[in-house]
């Protein structure tokens, strides 16, 4: 072989390797099955942006105007405690850490800190970009902003300490919305998508999807573009997983298989 043709041969075999010889280069993300354990009532006016379960209680934050943060009675959907945001703010995700509630706004670049006990205001913080959702690994806050990025925030300074890009099948996965930390993984809603992604927080790799299309309410009053699946809460003590959507009439406990 001449020098040129051996170089060409090397290039061709390299290309074949890179493309897997024409076969799909990566395995598809598996879709995980689930079953519905129970359905609970959910306030049809709640435009759910944040949802979590803490110490036996369910908490929810909403968007639209006025937006609010509230504690909800799981079994009845009744409001236990509520605080409205000033009407200029479109509320987004919320989480709790060390007795504090942290809540975001959509395009106001402002977050609020509240006392978990009584919802009294403790302060605020600002961030670049949009605010979509919050969860926590017990050490850091984890924030989504509508892109493929998950930001890690220091809960005391609110400074960003790192971020990871979320990928599915090697491609960036954006529109990451409501979040939930569950046993070392981040479960995430994807805006206007009926799937939840299970994300490895170290690498951003999506390990599985859960397709909840069957739970989407068929109510005539709901807008399929706005009233989308959003809201994941994990009862760590009781190992119960809750999901709902914006203005959905029900909240579901589901069990993964
Ligand atoms: N976000 O939650 C995905 C971040 C924003 C959703 C904003 C949807 C606005 C809908 C307003 C019209 C509802 C009647
Ligand atoms: Ca959540």
Q: Is residue 2, in this structure, part of any structural domain at all? A: no
Query: In which domain, by residue range, is 134 found?
Result: 29-256
Model pLDDT, residue 23: 56
ipTM: 0.94
Q: What is the pLDDT of residues 168-221, one digit of tens each?
A: 999 999 999 999 999 999 999 999 999 999 999 999 999 999 999 999 999 889
Q: What is the pLDDT of residues 130-139, one digit of tens each?
A: 999 999 999 9
Task: Check whether 14 has a pLDDT greater than 60.
Answer: no
Instruction: Using the mean position of ligand 2's atoms as its centre, give its distance from the Cα of residue 232 in Å.
Output: 4
| Mean pLDDT score of the chain | 92
Q: What is the pLDDT of residues 32-53, one digit of tens each?
A: 999 999 999 999 999 999 999 9
Ligand 1 binding pocket (C-beta < 6 A) is 49, 63, 92, 106, 132, 146, 177, 191, 226
Model pLDDT, residue 2: 44
Number of domains in the chain: 1
Specify the CATH number for the domain of residue 181. 2.130.10.10
Phi-psi region of 146 (alpha: psi -120 to 50; beta: other; left: phi over 0): left
Model pLDDT, residue 202: 98
Using CA positions, which residue lies closest to atom 8 of ligand 1?
226
Q: Is residue 225, in this structure, part of any structural domain at all? A: yes
Instruction: Using the mean position of ligand 2's atoms as its centre, give its distance from the Cα of residue 46 in Å.
Output: 15
Q: Is residue 53, in this structure, part of any structural domain at all? A: yes
Q: Which residues pair with 7 in a beta bridge?
A: none
Q: Is residue 157, in this structure, part of any structural domain at all? A: yes
């Amino acid at each position: 072989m001449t020098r040129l043709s051996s170089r060409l041969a090397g290039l061709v075999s390299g290309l074949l390797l890179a493309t897997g010889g024409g076969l799909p280069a990566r395995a598809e993300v598996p879709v995980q099955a689930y079953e519905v354990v129970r359905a609970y009532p959910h306030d049809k006016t709640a435009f759910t942006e944040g949802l979590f379960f803490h110490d036996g209680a369910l908490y929810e934050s909403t968007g639209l105007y006025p937006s609010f943060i509230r504690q909800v009675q799981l079994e009845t959907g009744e409001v236990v405690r509520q605080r409205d945001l000033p009407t200029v703010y479109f509320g987004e995700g919320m989480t709790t850490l060390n007795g504090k509630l942290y809540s975001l706004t959509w395009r106001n670049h402002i977050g609020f800190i509240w006392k978990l006990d009584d919802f009294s205001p403790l302060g605020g913080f600002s961030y670049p970009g949009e605010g979509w959702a919050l969860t926590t690994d017990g050490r850091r806050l984890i924030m989504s902003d509508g892109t493929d990025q998950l930001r890690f925030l220091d809960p005391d300074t609110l400074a960003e300490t790192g971020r990871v890009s979320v990928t599915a099948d090697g491609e960036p996965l954006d529109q990451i919305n409501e979040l939930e930390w569950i046993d070392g993984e981040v479960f995430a809603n994807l805006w206007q998508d009926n799937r939840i992604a299970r994300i490895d927080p170290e690498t951003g790799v999506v390990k599985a999807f859960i397709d909840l299309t069957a739970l989407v309410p068929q109510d005539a009053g709901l807008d399929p573009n706005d009233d989308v699946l959003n809201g994941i809460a994990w009862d760590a003590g009781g190992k119960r997983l809750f999901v709902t959507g914006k203005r959905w009439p029900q909240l579901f406990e589901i069990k993964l298989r």
